[in-house]
Amino acid sequence: MGVGVRGGWRGPACAALLTVVATGCSGTAEESPKTAASTTSTRGASGSTGTVAERGGTLGPAGSACELPVTFATAEDWKAQSVDAAPQDRTGSDGSGSGSGSGSGATEDGLAGEVTDALLRQGPVTLACEIDAKPAGNIGYLRVWTGKPGADDADTVLKAFVAAEDGASKATYRTFQVGGLSGAEVEYVYTSELLDEPKKERALAVTTADGPVVLHLGGLDTAEHTEMLPAYRLARQTLRTT
């Protein structure tokens, strides 16, 4: 794809592009005081000891904020919201593809819709849910991406997801197993012209009968990313099929 979830999603331009999606992008939000998160110690998928956030709720089942092919626990105070990534209808009554109405305004609306659609897709998956860390005192999201059923395994899906992200480098992959699921995980560095310095990010992928699922943790910078890792570890540790 030509435009993945790139710097525009993560930086100042995201607010203008994604307001219509109503997902509350906060990449440039003002800093808020950090809250002392309650955590517990655990042994991570890579064998290293890390901290896991206190459980706040569960996502995935019917009736939850985001209905997904998997379920997992969310950290205390993090707020989840589903994302409607259905393609926007930009075809006019004359079939021209310029949307309702005519003229430059309709054309601009169509182009904006195409950019928004592209931002909601990365490689083989589409954005389905965002869990906002701001209520817990951090600037960043744990995002959930889903795809159509296919023959690709978790490693293939995850590598395609990272390859579709301009600015991703130094990727380190590993495999893990949890709750009867076999998954792949990656840590990498993201560099954008909009950022003062590169920052660390990570993601994991699993495959289900309903299609692949990718969980991605970014953050305003590496410091924010590191502070949010306990919430990511909680999600990975509690991951199960729906």
Handedness of CA 9, 11, 16, 20 (dihedral sign): positive
Burial 52-69 (b: 16+ CB within 10 A, else e): bbeebeebbeeebbbebb
State the Cα–Cα distance between residues 130 and 119, nearest whole angstrom. 14
Residues 6+ apart with CB under 8 A from 10: 27, 190, 192, 194, 195, 218
Domains in the chain with CATH codes: 7-28+35-85+122-241 (3.40.1000.10), 87-119 (no CATH)
Both tokens of 168, joined, read 């991703």
* Full pLDDT tens readout for the chain, 242 residues: 333 343 334 433 343 333 334 333 333 333 333 333 344 444 333 334 589 999 999 999 999 999 999 999 999 999 999 998 776 544 443 444 444 445 555 555 554 556 666 789 999 999 999 999 999 999 999 999 999 999 999 999 999 999 999 999 999 999 999 999 999 999 999 998 777 789 999 999 999 999 999 999 999 999 999 999 999 999 999 999 98
Both tokens of 95, joined, read 């079939």
Q: Bin 5: left if φ > 0, else alpha if -120 < ψ < 50, else beta.
A: beta
CA-nearest of 215, 226, 173, 220 to 198 is 220
Handedness of CA 20, 21, 24, 27 (dihedral sign): negative
Q: DSSP states of 135-203 as a string? A: GGT-S-EEEEEE----S--HHHHHHHHHHTSTTEEEEEEEEEEETTEEEEEEEEEE--TTSSS-EEEEE
The pLDDT, as a whole number, for residue 28 is 32
